[in-house]
Amino acid sequence: MLRFRNTLIFLLKVKIFYREHICYIFIIFFLLLLKFQKIRVMSGYQIDQIDQKILSFLVKNARMPFLEIARECGVSGAAIHQRVKKMENLGIITGSRLLVKPQTLGLSVCAFVGVSLSQANLYPEVIAALKNISEVVECHYITGKHALMLKLYCFNHDHLMEVLLNTIQKIPGIEQTETWISLDQAIERQIWVKDYANAPQHR
């Protein structure tokens, strides 16, 4: 983990000082390589059609009973439980969440904020500080002129300005920010898993 952190800091330094497209490509390639290597080492396990079928049901309804999934898959409830447990242990399934519509809580403004860093070695501290801001619901390391992309939910524009000016922009290491306000979320869904329930049957 320490080696990964030091390597990421080095790559951020390269990005900040040179800002060449090839640097961005190298950084993303490196991160993707680490991610895929982690998955391969973590699993050594080939997801089969039954696993994908289980995932296709759980992505749509995480509360779907295992016995109901078992009937759809043509296996026992115990087999479903074992497979789900194994996928959890391997990190394929990372948990289940209750999704709350932000607007029902009065959080009517959704914004995306691009963040540029002044010093690459402050990256861990910046992330730690952002984790303490409840309005920030997502943080991504990205290519382009910014280092980070944040997703925020706020009550109104005044609330958004307050968070930007008095919280985010005061974090040491943040050089500048750029904000985009979402007017409407046209698509919202989980990752795509092959829908075996509705797939055509080949005989």
In a 3-state reduction of DSSP, which class is residue 137? strand
**d(C-alpha 169, C-alpha 114), whole Å:** 11
Look at residue 134 in the predicted model and tell me its pLDDT: 96
For 20-62, how does the pLDDT look when each residue is reduced to its tens digit (9 = 90+)?
A: 455 555 555 556 555 555 555 454 678 899 999 999 999 888 9
**d(C-alpha 152, C-alpha 107), whole Å:** 10
Look at residue 20 in the predicted model and tell me its pLDDT: 46
**d(C-alpha 20, C-alpha 3), whole Å:** 24
Look at residue 167 in the predicted model and tell me its pLDDT: 97
* Phi-psi sector, 95: left (phi>0), alpha (psi -120 to 50), beta: left
The 3-class SS string of 62-126 reads CCCCHHHHHHHHCCCHHHHHHHHHHHHHCCCCCCCCCCCCHHHHCCCEEEEEEEEECCHHHHHHH
Say whether pLDDT at 202 is over 50: no
Q: Which residues contact 121 (CB under 8 A, 6 or more apart)?
A: 9, 13
Domains of the chain plus CATH, in order, are 49-89 (1.10.10.10), 102-182 (3.30.70.920)
**d(C-alpha 27, C-alpha 143), whole Å:** 8
Look at residue 189 in the predicted model and tell me its pLDDT: 82
The larger pLDDT score, comparing residue 51 to residue 98, is at 51
For 152-178, how does the pLDDT look when each residue is reduced to its tens digit (9 = 90+)?
A: 999 999 999 999 999 999 999 999 999
Model confidence at 98, pLDDT cuts 50, 70, 90, reads confident
In a 3-state reduction of DSSP, which class is residue 141? strand
Say whether pLDDT at 92 is over 50: yes
**d(C-alpha 114, C-alpha 99), whole Å:** 25
